[in-house]
Amino acid sequence: MIACSAMCPEYLQRPVPHRQLARLLNVQRGFGTQFSSILNLRQLDIDVSYQQYGTLEDLYQLLDKGLPPIVSVQTGELPYWNSVNVYHVIV
């Protein structure tokens, strides 16, 4: 999630060092972090909207506005993923 979290501020021309993001997102070695930790980017004065169960329409609206979304994807919902539920984060 750090890589995705770094891409958005970089896109907004406000890069954040990797170590600072790791601390801010409460990343645990061997575990990672909760997706909701993305809200901690607000501490950097970055506007963050967090929504559960968004739609493709929500995603399209963000893209149309030129905003870089970070999306949590649960692969168990994908028909080609053999019903294995793995959490991924994408920008």
- The three-point CA angle 9-62-27 to 5° equals 40
How many CB atoms within 10 Å of residue 59? 12
Token pair belonging to 74:
């649960």
C-alpha 26/C-alpha 78 separation (Å) is: 29
**Cross-strand bridge partners of residue 88:** 73
pTM over 0.95: no
Token pair belonging to 78:
């994908």
Q: How far is CA 54 from the centre of its chain?
A: 13
Predicted pLDDT at 21? 93
Token pair belonging to 33:
């972090």
Please report, in tens digits, the pLDDT of each residue of the chain (91 residues total): 788 889 988 988 999 999 999 999 999 888 888 889 999 999 999 888 888 888 889 989 999 998 888 888 877 777 787 767 766 677 6
